[in-house]
Chains A and B, each alone.
Chain A
Amino acid sequence: MLPMAKKNQMPPKDFAEALKELEEIVGQIERGEVGLEESLAKYERGSFLIQHCMGVLNEAEKKIEVIAKGPDGSLKAEPVGGEVEG
Protein backbone atom coordinates (compact mmCIF):
# COMPACT_ATOMS: atom_id res chain seq x y z
CA MET A 1 0.00 0.00 0.00
CA LEU A 2 2.98 2.27 -0.47
CA PRO A 3 1.52 4.30 -3.38
CA MET A 4 -1.68 4.96 -1.45
CA ALA A 5 0.25 6.03 1.60
CA LYS A 6 2.41 8.26 -0.57
CA LYS A 7 -0.59 9.97 -2.12
CA ASN A 8 -2.19 10.36 1.26
CA GLN A 9 0.86 12.17 2.60
CA MET A 10 1.35 14.58 -0.29
CA PRO A 11 1.11 18.14 1.03
CA PRO A 12 -1.38 20.39 -0.80
CA LYS A 13 -0.27 23.40 -2.85
CA ASP A 14 -1.44 25.88 -0.24
CA PHE A 15 -3.86 26.34 2.60
CA ALA A 16 -6.81 27.18 0.37
CA GLU A 17 -6.15 24.04 -1.67
CA ALA A 18 -6.03 21.97 1.53
CA LEU A 19 -9.35 23.35 2.73
CA LYS A 20 -10.92 22.75 -0.67
CA GLU A 21 -9.72 19.18 -0.75
CA LEU A 22 -10.97 18.62 2.79
CA GLU A 23 -14.40 19.97 1.88
CA GLU A 24 -14.49 17.70 -1.14
CA ILE A 25 -13.53 14.67 0.93
CA VAL A 26 -16.21 15.40 3.52
CA GLY A 27 -18.76 16.01 0.76
CA GLN A 28 -17.93 12.79 -1.07
CA ILE A 29 -18.17 10.68 2.06
CA GLU A 30 -21.35 12.50 3.07
CA ARG A 31 -23.07 11.87 -0.26
CA GLY A 32 -21.96 8.26 -0.28
CA GLU A 33 -20.20 8.70 -3.62
CA VAL A 34 -17.32 6.45 -2.64
CA GLY A 35 -17.14 2.89 -1.42
CA LEU A 36 -16.15 1.83 2.05
CA GLU A 37 -12.48 1.18 1.31
CA GLU A 38 -12.15 4.46 -0.53
CA SER A 39 -13.95 6.25 2.28
CA LEU A 40 -11.35 4.98 4.68
CA ALA A 41 -8.52 6.02 2.37
CA LYS A 42 -10.10 9.44 2.01
CA TYR A 43 -10.55 9.70 5.74
CA GLU A 44 -6.86 9.00 6.13
CA ARG A 45 -6.06 11.72 3.60
CA GLY A 46 -8.47 14.08 5.37
CA SER A 47 -6.79 13.46 8.69
CA PHE A 48 -3.45 14.23 7.12
CA LEU A 49 -4.80 17.50 5.65
CA ILE A 50 -6.23 18.52 9.01
CA GLN A 51 -2.86 17.88 10.64
CA HIS A 52 -1.21 19.88 7.87
CA CYS A 53 -3.56 22.85 8.27
CA MET A 54 -3.26 22.81 12.03
CA GLY A 55 0.49 22.71 11.58
CA VAL A 56 0.38 25.83 9.42
CA LEU A 57 -1.79 27.68 11.91
CA ASN A 58 0.34 26.65 14.87
CA GLU A 59 3.54 27.95 13.36
CA ALA A 60 4.50 30.26 16.15
CA GLU A 61 7.42 32.23 14.81
CA LYS A 62 6.52 35.63 13.43
CA LYS A 63 8.30 36.20 10.20
CA ILE A 64 8.90 39.77 9.19
CA GLU A 65 11.67 40.24 6.71
CA VAL A 66 13.01 43.15 4.74
CA ILE A 67 13.74 42.65 1.09
CA ALA A 68 17.14 43.84 -0.05
CA LYS A 69 18.32 44.06 -3.62
CA GLY A 70 21.70 42.52 -4.36
CA PRO A 71 24.20 44.07 -6.77
CA ASP A 72 23.23 41.49 -9.41
CA GLY A 73 19.55 42.52 -9.16
CA SER A 74 18.52 39.46 -7.16
CA LEU A 75 16.32 39.87 -4.11
CA LYS A 76 17.21 38.77 -0.60
CA ALA A 77 14.96 38.62 2.42
CA GLU A 78 16.53 39.35 5.78
CA PRO A 79 14.77 39.00 9.10
CA VAL A 80 14.64 42.25 11.07
CA GLY A 81 14.13 43.09 14.67
CA GLY A 82 12.92 46.24 16.34
CA GLU A 83 13.52 48.61 13.47
CA VAL A 84 10.45 47.62 11.53
CA GLU A 85 8.50 46.19 14.40
CA GLY A 86 8.70 49.64 16.04
Chain B
Amino acid sequence: MDFFDFHEKVTKRAAKGDAAGGPPKAQREILTVTQLTGRIEKAIKDAMPGSVVVQGEVSNLKHHAGSGHYYFTLKDANACIDCVMFKSDAARLKFSPQDGIELLATGHVAVYGQRGRYQLYVSRLELLGQGALELAFRQLCAKLEAEGLFATERKKLIPLYPQRVALVTSTQTAAIQDMLKVLRRFPWVRVLAYHVPVQGDGSAEKIAAAIADLNCRASDIGGVDVILLGRGGGSLEDLWAFNEEIVARAVVASRIPIITGIGHEIDVSIADLAADYHAHTPTEAAQVAISQWRGANDAVESLAIQLRREIRSVIQDAKQRLIAVQRHELFRRPMDRINLARQLLDDRQRALALAVGARLRRLQATLHPLANRLDQLHPRHGIALGRERLNSLGRRMQQAMATLQQTRTRQIESLAVHLNAVGPEQVLRRGYSITTLKKTGAVLRRPAQIKVGDRLVTRVAEGQVQSRVEDPNQLGLFD
Protein backbone atom coordinates (compact mmCIF):
# COMPACT_ATOMS: atom_id res chain seq x y z
CA MET B 1 0.00 0.00 0.00
CA ASP B 2 1.43 3.27 -1.05
CA PHE B 3 0.78 6.64 0.47
CA PHE B 4 -2.12 7.49 -1.84
CA ASP B 5 -3.92 4.25 -1.16
CA PHE B 6 -3.69 4.96 2.49
CA HIS B 7 -4.85 8.52 2.10
CA GLU B 8 -7.86 7.42 0.08
CA LYS B 9 -8.83 4.85 2.66
CA VAL B 10 -8.65 7.35 5.44
CA THR B 11 -10.64 9.93 3.55
CA LYS B 12 -13.32 7.42 2.67
CA ARG B 13 -13.65 6.31 6.23
CA ALA B 14 -13.97 9.87 7.34
CA ALA B 15 -16.66 10.54 4.80
CA LYS B 16 -18.52 7.40 5.81
CA GLY B 17 -18.38 8.51 9.40
CA ASP B 18 -19.79 11.85 8.51
CA ALA B 19 -22.65 10.32 6.65
CA ALA B 20 -23.51 7.81 9.37
CA GLY B 21 -22.95 9.63 12.69
CA GLY B 22 -23.10 13.36 12.14
CA PRO B 23 -26.36 15.19 11.77
CA PRO B 24 -27.22 16.48 8.36
CA LYS B 25 -25.79 19.87 7.74
CA ALA B 26 -29.19 21.47 7.29
CA GLN B 27 -30.44 20.36 10.72
CA ARG B 28 -27.29 21.32 12.55
CA GLU B 29 -28.11 21.95 16.27
CA ILE B 30 -26.45 24.81 18.09
CA LEU B 31 -26.19 24.58 21.85
CA THR B 32 -25.47 27.17 24.45
CA VAL B 33 -22.70 26.38 26.87
CA THR B 34 -25.27 25.98 29.61
CA GLN B 35 -27.24 23.53 27.50
CA LEU B 36 -24.12 21.58 26.73
CA THR B 37 -23.17 21.53 30.36
CA GLY B 38 -26.68 20.38 31.26
CA ARG B 39 -26.33 17.50 28.80
CA ILE B 40 -22.97 16.52 30.18
CA GLU B 41 -24.44 16.69 33.67
CA LYS B 42 -27.31 14.44 32.62
CA ALA B 43 -24.98 12.04 30.85
CA ILE B 44 -22.83 11.72 33.92
CA LYS B 45 -25.83 11.37 36.19
CA ASP B 46 -27.34 8.65 34.02
CA ALA B 47 -24.14 6.77 33.58
CA MET B 48 -22.72 6.96 37.09
CA PRO B 49 -24.03 5.11 40.15
CA GLY B 50 -25.45 7.31 42.95
CA SER B 51 -22.51 6.57 45.17
CA VAL B 52 -18.96 5.55 44.34
CA VAL B 53 -16.01 4.60 46.46
CA VAL B 54 -12.70 5.82 45.12
CA GLN B 55 -9.20 5.06 46.33
CA GLY B 56 -6.56 7.69 45.83
CA GLU B 57 -3.95 9.98 47.32
CA VAL B 58 -4.87 13.39 48.64
CA SER B 59 -3.16 16.45 47.19
CA ASN B 60 -3.75 20.21 47.04
CA LEU B 61 -5.76 19.99 50.23
CA LYS B 62 -7.36 23.25 51.34
CA HIS B 63 -9.52 23.65 54.40
CA HIS B 64 -11.62 26.73 53.85
CA ALA B 65 -11.65 28.55 57.16
CA GLY B 66 -14.87 30.45 56.52
CA SER B 67 -17.12 27.70 55.24
CA GLY B 68 -15.40 24.76 56.92
CA HIS B 69 -15.42 22.82 53.63
CA TYR B 70 -12.49 20.74 52.46
CA TYR B 71 -11.27 21.07 48.87
CA PHE B 72 -8.71 18.63 47.51
CA THR B 73 -7.63 16.53 44.59
CA LEU B 74 -7.66 12.76 44.65
CA LYS B 75 -5.09 11.23 42.37
CA ASP B 76 -3.35 8.09 41.36
CA ALA B 77 -0.50 7.55 38.92
CA ASN B 78 -2.53 8.40 35.82
CA ALA B 79 -5.51 10.55 36.74
CA CYS B 80 -6.92 13.00 39.19
CA ILE B 81 -10.30 14.34 40.20
CA ASP B 82 -11.36 17.45 42.11
CA CYS B 83 -13.09 16.71 45.37
CA VAL B 84 -15.13 18.73 47.82
CA MET B 85 -16.25 17.67 51.29
CA PHE B 86 -18.79 19.90 52.94
CA LYS B 87 -18.53 20.96 56.54
CA SER B 88 -21.44 18.82 57.73
CA ASP B 89 -19.72 15.68 56.40
CA ALA B 90 -16.27 16.80 57.47
CA ALA B 91 -17.52 17.15 61.07
CA ARG B 92 -17.80 13.36 61.29
CA LEU B 93 -14.17 12.79 60.33
CA LYS B 94 -12.08 11.08 62.97
CA PHE B 95 -8.85 12.42 61.51
CA SER B 96 -7.64 15.47 59.65
CA PRO B 97 -6.95 14.78 55.96
CA GLN B 98 -3.44 15.66 54.86
CA ASP B 99 -1.65 15.85 51.53
CA GLY B 100 -0.06 12.60 50.55
CA ILE B 101 -2.24 10.19 52.49
CA GLU B 102 -3.96 7.33 50.77
CA LEU B 103 -7.64 6.97 51.48
CA LEU B 104 -11.05 5.81 50.37
CA ALA B 105 -13.50 8.53 49.45
CA THR B 106 -17.22 7.80 49.24
CA GLY B 107 -19.40 10.22 47.33
CA HIS B 108 -21.08 11.05 44.05
CA VAL B 109 -19.81 12.67 40.89
CA ALA B 110 -21.53 15.77 39.61
CA VAL B 111 -20.79 18.68 37.33
CA TYR B 112 -19.89 22.05 38.69
CA GLY B 113 -21.20 24.18 35.83
CA GLN B 114 -19.77 27.57 36.73
CA ARG B 115 -16.26 26.18 36.42
CA GLY B 116 -16.90 23.59 33.74
CA ARG B 117 -15.64 20.86 35.95
CA TYR B 118 -16.82 17.58 37.22
CA GLN B 119 -16.18 16.91 40.89
CA LEU B 120 -16.45 14.17 43.42
CA TYR B 121 -18.72 15.29 46.26
CA VAL B 122 -17.27 13.37 49.19
CA SER B 123 -19.52 12.34 52.05
CA ARG B 124 -17.12 10.04 53.84
CA LEU B 125 -13.38 9.52 54.05
CA GLU B 126 -11.73 6.40 55.36
CA LEU B 127 -8.09 5.93 56.05
CA LEU B 128 -6.53 3.01 54.35
CA GLY B 129 -4.37 0.39 55.97
CA GLN B 130 -2.24 0.25 59.12
CA GLY B 131 -0.40 3.50 58.44
CA ALA B 132 -3.66 5.33 58.15
CA LEU B 133 -4.86 4.12 61.58
CA GLU B 134 -1.57 5.19 63.05
CA LEU B 135 -2.07 8.62 61.56
CA ALA B 136 -5.55 8.87 63.06
CA PHE B 137 -4.11 7.71 66.37
CA ARG B 138 -1.36 10.31 66.28
CA GLN B 139 -3.73 13.08 65.32
CA LEU B 140 -6.27 12.31 68.03
CA CYS B 141 -3.47 11.84 70.50
CA ALA B 142 -2.04 15.27 69.68
CA LYS B 143 -5.47 16.89 69.89
CA LEU B 144 -6.36 15.44 73.30
CA GLU B 145 -2.87 16.08 74.59
CA ALA B 146 -3.22 19.73 73.59
CA GLU B 147 -6.49 19.85 75.53
CA GLY B 148 -4.63 18.59 78.55
CA LEU B 149 -6.65 15.39 78.91
CA PHE B 150 -3.54 13.34 79.59
CA ALA B 151 -2.07 15.74 82.12
CA THR B 152 -0.68 14.11 85.24
CA GLU B 153 -2.55 16.51 87.51
CA ARG B 154 -5.84 15.23 86.10
CA LYS B 155 -5.12 11.69 87.20
CA LYS B 156 -7.20 10.50 90.13
CA LEU B 157 -5.62 8.48 92.92
CA ILE B 158 -6.25 4.77 92.76
CA PRO B 159 -7.71 3.70 96.13
CA LEU B 160 -5.24 1.53 98.02
CA TYR B 161 -7.84 -0.92 99.23
CA PRO B 162 -10.72 -1.04 96.75
CA GLN B 163 -13.52 -3.20 98.06
CA ARG B 164 -15.76 -2.85 95.00
CA VAL B 165 -14.10 -3.35 91.63
CA ALA B 166 -16.06 -2.94 88.38
CA LEU B 167 -14.75 -4.66 85.24
CA VAL B 168 -15.75 -2.95 82.01
CA THR B 169 -14.97 -5.58 79.39
CA SER B 170 -16.50 -8.35 77.39
CA THR B 171 -17.63 -11.21 79.58
CA GLN B 172 -16.98 -13.56 76.70
CA THR B 173 -13.25 -13.14 76.33
CA ALA B 174 -10.10 -14.41 77.91
CA ALA B 175 -9.34 -10.95 79.30
CA ILE B 176 -12.03 -11.19 81.97
CA GLN B 177 -10.74 -14.61 82.97
CA ASP B 178 -7.25 -13.16 83.37
CA MET B 179 -8.58 -10.44 85.63
CA LEU B 180 -10.77 -12.80 87.67
CA LYS B 181 -7.85 -15.16 88.15
CA VAL B 182 -6.05 -12.39 90.03
CA LEU B 183 -9.07 -10.99 91.86
CA ARG B 184 -10.33 -14.39 92.98
CA ARG B 185 -7.52 -14.62 95.51
CA PHE B 186 -9.04 -11.74 97.43
CA PRO B 187 -12.46 -13.04 98.32
CA TRP B 188 -13.45 -9.92 100.24
CA VAL B 189 -13.19 -7.79 97.12
CA ARG B 190 -16.55 -7.52 95.41
CA VAL B 191 -16.20 -7.87 91.65
CA LEU B 192 -18.83 -6.45 89.32
CA ALA B 193 -18.67 -7.21 85.62
CA TYR B 194 -20.19 -4.76 83.16
CA HIS B 195 -20.35 -6.41 79.76
CA VAL B 196 -19.45 -4.30 76.71
CA PRO B 197 -18.42 -5.31 73.19
CA VAL B 198 -14.73 -4.54 72.87
CA GLN B 199 -14.48 -4.38 69.09
CA GLY B 200 -16.57 -3.63 66.06
CA ASP B 201 -18.96 -0.88 65.16
CA GLY B 202 -20.51 0.93 68.10
CA SER B 203 -18.23 -0.69 70.66
CA ALA B 204 -16.57 2.63 71.53
CA GLU B 205 -19.94 4.24 72.22
CA LYS B 206 -20.97 1.30 74.42
CA ILE B 207 -17.72 1.40 76.38
CA ALA B 208 -18.13 5.14 76.95
CA ALA B 209 -21.77 4.65 77.97
CA ALA B 210 -20.80 1.92 80.45
CA ILE B 211 -18.25 4.21 82.13
CA ALA B 212 -20.82 7.01 82.30
CA ASP B 213 -23.44 4.56 83.68
CA LEU B 214 -21.16 3.40 86.45
CA ASN B 215 -20.46 7.00 87.40
CA CYS B 216 -24.13 7.98 87.54
CA ARG B 217 -25.55 4.77 88.91
CA ALA B 218 -22.86 3.28 91.12
CA SER B 219 -25.11 3.66 94.15
CA ASP B 220 -27.64 1.25 92.55
CA ILE B 221 -25.13 -1.55 92.96
CA GLY B 222 -23.59 -0.53 96.27
CA GLY B 223 -20.87 1.75 94.94
CA VAL B 224 -17.74 1.27 92.87
CA ASP B 225 -14.22 2.09 94.11
CA VAL B 226 -12.30 1.50 90.90
CA ILE B 227 -13.02 0.57 87.28
CA LEU B 228 -10.85 -1.86 85.34
CA LEU B 229 -11.14 -1.23 81.61
CA GLY B 230 -9.71 -4.31 79.93
CA ARG B 231 -9.31 -6.11 76.65
CA GLY B 232 -7.01 -8.86 75.44
CA GLY B 233 -4.42 -8.41 72.71
CA GLY B 234 -5.26 -7.88 69.04
CA SER B 235 -4.38 -5.91 65.98
CA LEU B 236 -4.52 -2.15 65.97
CA GLU B 237 -7.88 -2.40 64.25
CA ASP B 238 -9.15 -4.83 66.89
CA LEU B 239 -8.15 -2.45 69.64
CA TRP B 240 -9.47 0.57 67.80
CA ALA B 241 -12.46 1.16 70.06
CA PHE B 242 -10.00 2.17 72.79
CA ASN B 243 -8.50 4.78 70.50
CA GLU B 244 -11.79 6.53 69.91
CA GLU B 245 -12.25 10.04 71.23
CA ILE B 246 -15.55 9.21 72.92
CA VAL B 247 -13.86 6.56 75.09
CA ALA B 248 -10.97 8.85 75.98
CA ARG B 249 -13.40 11.58 77.06
CA ALA B 250 -15.51 9.15 79.11
CA VAL B 251 -12.37 7.94 80.89
CA VAL B 252 -11.30 11.49 81.69
CA ALA B 253 -14.78 12.48 82.84
CA SER B 254 -15.12 9.49 85.17
CA ARG B 255 -15.13 10.38 88.86
CA ILE B 256 -14.35 6.76 89.66
CA PRO B 257 -10.65 6.08 89.09
CA ILE B 258 -9.94 3.92 86.04
CA ILE B 259 -7.14 1.41 85.48
CA THR B 260 -6.71 0.29 81.89
CA GLY B 261 -5.26 -3.01 80.78
CA ILE B 262 -5.63 -3.15 77.03
CA GLY B 263 -3.87 -5.51 74.60
CA HIS B 264 -0.30 -6.61 75.13
CA GLU B 265 2.70 -5.03 76.77
CA ILE B 266 3.63 -2.97 73.72
CA ASP B 267 0.20 -1.59 72.93
CA VAL B 268 -0.66 1.89 74.06
CA SER B 269 -4.16 3.11 73.38
CA ILE B 270 -5.57 6.59 73.81
CA ALA B 271 -7.75 5.21 76.61
CA ASP B 272 -4.52 4.14 78.32
CA LEU B 273 -3.16 7.68 78.09
CA ALA B 274 -6.37 9.12 79.50
CA ALA B 275 -6.63 6.56 82.31
CA ASP B 276 -5.67 7.23 85.90
CA TYR B 277 -3.37 4.22 85.78
CA HIS B 278 -2.13 2.52 82.64
CA ALA B 279 -1.46 -1.15 83.17
CA HIS B 280 -0.27 -3.04 80.10
CA THR B 281 -2.50 -6.09 80.25
CA PRO B 282 -5.81 -7.07 81.89
CA THR B 283 -3.88 -9.25 84.34
CA GLU B 284 -1.64 -6.34 85.33
CA ALA B 285 -4.66 -4.05 85.72
CA ALA B 286 -6.18 -6.49 88.22
CA GLN B 287 -2.83 -6.81 90.00
CA VAL B 288 -2.52 -3.05 90.32
CA ALA B 289 -6.04 -2.81 91.75
CA ILE B 290 -5.39 -5.34 94.50
CA SER B 291 -1.67 -4.70 95.03
CA GLN B 292 -2.11 -3.27 98.51
CA TRP B 293 -4.45 -6.05 99.56
CA ARG B 294 -1.57 -8.51 99.25
CA GLY B 295 0.11 -7.01 102.28
CA ALA B 296 -3.12 -6.14 104.10
CA ASN B 297 -3.07 -9.19 106.37
CA ASP B 298 0.50 -8.52 107.38
CA ALA B 299 -0.17 -4.84 107.85
CA VAL B 300 -3.11 -5.45 110.17
CA GLU B 301 -1.24 -8.09 112.12
CA SER B 302 1.86 -5.94 112.49
CA LEU B 303 -0.27 -3.01 113.65
CA ALA B 304 -2.03 -5.26 116.14
CA ILE B 305 1.30 -6.38 117.56
CA GLN B 306 2.59 -2.81 117.69
CA LEU B 307 -0.58 -1.62 119.40
CA ARG B 308 -0.37 -4.29 122.09
CA ARG B 309 3.31 -3.59 122.63
CA GLU B 310 2.73 0.15 122.89
CA ILE B 311 -0.13 -0.11 125.34
CA ARG B 312 1.89 -2.51 127.48
CA SER B 313 4.75 -0.06 127.46
CA VAL B 314 2.41 2.81 128.37
CA ILE B 315 0.98 0.88 131.30
CA GLN B 316 4.43 -0.26 132.39
CA ASP B 317 5.67 3.29 132.23
CA ALA B 318 2.72 4.56 134.25
CA LYS B 319 3.37 1.91 136.89
CA GLN B 320 7.03 2.85 137.10
CA ARG B 321 6.18 6.45 137.62
CA LEU B 322 3.64 5.60 140.26
CA ILE B 323 6.22 3.56 142.15
CA ALA B 324 8.78 6.33 141.84
CA VAL B 325 6.32 8.81 143.20
CA GLN B 326 5.43 6.54 146.08
CA ARG B 327 9.06 6.18 146.98
CA HIS B 328 9.70 9.87 146.93
CA GLU B 329 10.54 11.38 150.34
CA LEU B 330 7.64 13.72 149.86
CA PHE B 331 5.35 10.83 150.46
CA ARG B 332 7.47 9.39 153.22
CA ARG B 333 7.83 12.57 155.32
CA PRO B 334 5.07 14.83 154.11
CA MET B 335 5.54 17.45 156.91
CA ASP B 336 9.13 18.25 155.85
CA ARG B 337 8.04 20.14 152.91
CA ILE B 338 5.38 22.04 154.79
CA ASN B 339 7.75 22.97 157.59
CA LEU B 340 10.30 24.13 155.14
CA ALA B 341 7.73 26.25 153.47
CA ARG B 342 6.56 27.65 156.77
CA GLN B 343 10.10 28.60 157.74
CA LEU B 344 10.56 30.26 154.46
CA LEU B 345 7.32 32.12 155.01
CA ASP B 346 8.47 33.37 158.43
CA ASP B 347 11.73 34.58 156.99
CA ARG B 348 9.92 36.42 154.32
CA GLN B 349 7.53 37.95 156.78
CA ARG B 350 10.35 39.31 158.91
CA ALA B 351 12.17 40.65 155.98
CA LEU B 352 9.00 42.29 154.83
CA ALA B 353 8.40 44.00 158.20
CA LEU B 354 11.96 45.29 158.24
CA ALA B 355 11.74 46.57 154.80
CA VAL B 356 8.45 48.32 155.45
CA GLY B 357 9.78 49.95 158.69
CA ALA B 358 12.88 51.24 156.95
CA ARG B 359 10.87 52.62 154.19
CA LEU B 360 8.49 54.40 156.57
CA ARG B 361 11.33 55.98 158.41
CA ARG B 362 12.90 57.20 155.25
CA LEU B 363 9.61 58.74 154.26
CA GLN B 364 9.15 60.44 157.61
CA ALA B 365 12.62 61.93 157.41
CA THR B 366 11.68 63.51 154.14
CA LEU B 367 8.31 64.60 155.43
CA HIS B 368 9.36 66.47 158.60
CA PRO B 369 11.24 69.42 157.10
CA LEU B 370 8.49 69.78 154.59
CA ALA B 371 5.87 69.90 157.34
CA ASN B 372 7.87 72.54 159.18
CA ARG B 373 8.18 74.65 156.12
CA LEU B 374 4.54 74.29 155.44
CA ASP B 375 3.70 75.25 159.07
CA GLN B 376 5.74 78.36 158.78
CA LEU B 377 3.85 79.30 155.74
CA HIS B 378 0.51 79.00 157.60
CA PRO B 379 -1.66 82.24 157.30
CA ARG B 380 -2.21 82.53 161.05
CA HIS B 381 1.35 83.88 161.30
CA GLY B 382 0.49 86.62 158.92
CA ILE B 383 -2.78 87.32 160.76
CA ALA B 384 -1.07 87.69 164.15
CA LEU B 385 1.51 89.93 162.65
CA GLY B 386 -1.17 91.98 160.97
CA ARG B 387 -3.19 92.18 164.14
CA GLU B 388 -0.14 93.38 166.07
CA ARG B 389 0.59 96.06 163.51
CA LEU B 390 -3.05 97.05 163.55
CA ASN B 391 -3.04 97.38 167.36
CA SER B 392 0.08 99.46 167.34
CA LEU B 393 -1.35 101.69 164.63
CA GLY B 394 -4.57 102.04 166.70
CA ARG B 395 -2.60 103.01 169.71
CA ARG B 396 -0.56 105.51 167.77
CA MET B 397 -3.71 106.93 166.24
CA GLN B 398 -5.42 107.39 169.64
CA GLN B 399 -2.36 109.13 171.00
CA ALA B 400 -2.18 111.34 167.95
CA MET B 401 -5.86 112.12 168.25
CA ALA B 402 -5.56 113.00 171.94
CA THR B 403 -2.59 115.21 171.26
CA LEU B 404 -4.44 116.86 168.42
CA GLN B 405 -7.48 117.50 170.64
CA GLN B 406 -5.43 119.13 173.36
CA THR B 407 -3.74 121.31 170.80
CA ARG B 408 -7.05 122.27 169.29
CA THR B 409 -8.63 122.99 172.72
CA ARG B 410 -5.72 125.20 173.56
CA GLN B 411 -6.01 126.94 170.22
CA ILE B 412 -9.78 127.39 170.66
CA GLU B 413 -9.30 128.76 174.17
CA SER B 414 -6.67 131.18 172.97
CA LEU B 415 -8.89 132.12 170.06
CA ALA B 416 -11.80 132.67 172.40
CA VAL B 417 -9.65 135.00 174.45
CA HIS B 418 -8.66 136.76 171.25
CA LEU B 419 -12.20 136.81 170.07
CA ASN B 420 -13.38 138.24 173.33
CA ALA B 421 -10.76 140.86 173.11
CA VAL B 422 -11.88 141.96 169.66
CA GLY B 423 -15.60 141.10 170.05
CA PRO B 424 -18.35 143.75 170.27
CA GLU B 425 -19.01 142.98 173.96
CA GLN B 426 -15.83 144.75 175.01
CA VAL B 427 -16.58 147.67 172.68
CA LEU B 428 -20.14 147.89 173.96
CA ARG B 429 -18.76 147.76 177.47
CA ARG B 430 -16.68 150.74 176.62
CA GLY B 431 -19.93 152.63 175.83
CA TYR B 432 -20.27 152.06 172.13
CA SER B 433 -23.48 150.76 170.63
CA ILE B 434 -24.50 149.06 167.44
CA THR B 435 -27.57 150.19 165.61
CA THR B 436 -29.27 147.96 163.06
CA LEU B 437 -32.32 148.46 160.86
CA LYS B 438 -35.05 146.49 162.41
CA LYS B 439 -36.45 145.53 159.07
CA THR B 440 -33.31 144.19 157.43
CA GLY B 441 -30.99 143.70 160.36
CA ALA B 442 -28.33 145.65 158.47
CA VAL B 443 -25.87 147.58 160.58
CA LEU B 444 -26.46 151.27 160.31
CA ARG B 445 -23.33 152.88 159.02
CA ARG B 446 -24.58 155.83 156.93
CA PRO B 447 -27.48 158.14 157.49
CA ALA B 448 -28.52 157.44 153.94
CA GLN B 449 -29.54 154.01 154.97
CA ILE B 450 -32.53 155.27 156.85
CA LYS B 451 -35.50 157.49 156.37
CA VAL B 452 -38.09 158.96 158.70
CA GLY B 453 -40.15 156.42 160.47
CA ASP B 454 -37.74 153.49 160.13
CA ARG B 455 -37.43 151.49 163.27
CA LEU B 456 -33.97 150.93 164.61
CA VAL B 457 -32.58 148.49 167.14
CA THR B 458 -29.61 149.61 169.10
CA ARG B 459 -27.50 147.19 171.08
CA VAL B 460 -25.68 148.36 174.11
CA ALA B 461 -23.52 146.58 176.67
CA GLU B 462 -26.36 145.66 178.94
CA GLY B 463 -29.19 145.18 176.41
CA GLN B 464 -30.89 146.83 173.45
CA VAL B 465 -33.31 149.61 172.75
CA GLN B 466 -35.69 150.34 169.93
CA SER B 467 -36.19 153.75 168.40
CA ARG B 468 -37.82 155.56 165.48
CA VAL B 469 -36.06 157.86 163.07
CA GLU B 470 -37.22 161.43 163.30
CA ASP B 471 -34.51 163.21 161.43
CA PRO B 472 -31.97 161.26 159.51
CA ASN B 473 -30.08 164.41 158.55
CA GLN B 474 -27.81 165.02 161.51
CA LEU B 475 -24.41 166.24 161.43
CA GLY B 476 -21.66 163.72 161.21
CA LEU B 477 -20.34 162.75 164.56
CA PHE B 478 -17.12 164.36 163.97
CA ASP B 479 -18.37 167.39 161.97
Contacts and interface: CB of A to CB of B under 8 A. Distances in A.
Nearest to A38: B314
B181 to A, nearest CB: 9
Interface string B214-238: 1001101110010000000000000
B192 interface: yes
B177 interface: yes
B176 A84 contact: yes
A56 B306 CA distance: 20
Nearest to A30: B310
11 contacts: A14-B161, A32-B314, A43-B307, A57-B188, A62-B184, A64-B193, A67-B166, A73-B217, A74-B217, A74-B220, A83-B171
A63 interface: yes
A40 B12 CA distance: 125
Interface string B301-320: 00110110011001101100
> What is the interface of chain B mostly: helix, strand, loop, or mixed?
helix
A22 B304 CA distance: 8
Of the candidates A54, A67, A77, the one having the most CB atoms from chain B within 10 angstroms of its own CB is A67
Interface of A: 14-16, 19, 22-23, 25-26, 29-30, 32, 36, 39-40, 43, 46-47, 50, 53-54, 56-67, 69, 73-77, 80, 83-86
Contacts of A25: 307
B101 interface: no
Contacts of B213: 69, 73, 75
Interface size bucket, B side? 35 or more
B220 A75 contact: yes
B221 A50 contact: no
Q: What 10 pairs between A and B have smallest CB-CB spacing?
A: A15-B161, A59-B188, A77-B221, A29-B310, A75-B220, A43-B311, A75-B217, A63-B190, A53-B300, A67-B194
Contact of B307 (A50, A63, A80, A86): A50
Nearest to B307: A46
Contacts of A23: 303
Interface of B: 159-161, 163, 166, 171, 176-177, 180, 184, 187-195, 213-214, 217-218, 220-222, 225, 292, 296-297, 299-300, 303-304, 306-307, 310-311, 314-315, 317-318
Contacts of A36: 314-315, 318
A53 B304 CA distance: 10
A76 B94 CA distance: 34
A69 B168 CA distance: 14
A54 B297 CA distance: 8
B189 to A, nearest CB: 8
A66 B93 CA distance: 35
Given A29-B314, A56-B163, A69-B213, 11 more contacts: A15-B160, A15-B296, A16-B159, A22-B300, A25-B307, A36-B315, A50-B307, A57-B188, A67-B194, A75-B221, A77-B221
Contacts of B220: 74-76
A26 B300 contact: no
Nearest to A56: B188
Given A56-B188, A64-B191, A67-B166, A77 B222 contact: yes
Contacts of B159: 14, 16
A30 B314 CA distance: 8
A47 B311 CA distance: 11
A26 B221 contact: no
Nearest to B185: A62
B190 to A, nearest CB: 4
A75 B222 CA distance: 10
A19 B161 contact: yes
A64 to B, nearest CB: 5
**Interface core residue of A25, A43, A59, A75 (most chain B CB under 10 Å):** A75
Contacts of A62: 184, 187
